[in-house]
Amino acid sequence: MRFHVVAQWLCRTCEVEGRDLENEPSCWNCGGEVIVTARPTVAMERCGTEP
């Protein structure tokens, strides 16, 4: 199983949240700057090769 670090972020302008694989994410709604609130590790399974 592979793992990826995901940026969890908050846009104060739009008051929306998101998760992104980018190191420097931007808001999906307005395209503006965001505040990274966490960098959780997420398991990424490969289709058909892992139980």
pLDDT tens track for 12-42: 999 999 999 888 899 999 999 999 999 988 8
- Indicate the SS3 state at residue 40: coil
Q: What is the pTM of this model?
A: 0.70
Q: How far apart are CA 2 and CA 13, in angstroms?
A: 34
- The pLDDT assigned to 46 comes to 62
Question: How far apart are the C-alpha atoms of 9 and 21, rounded to whole Å?
Answer: 11
Beta strands in 1-51 (DSSP E): 2-5, 7-11, 16-20, 35-38, 41-44
- The radius of gyration of the chain from alpha carbons, rounded to an integer in Å, stands at 13
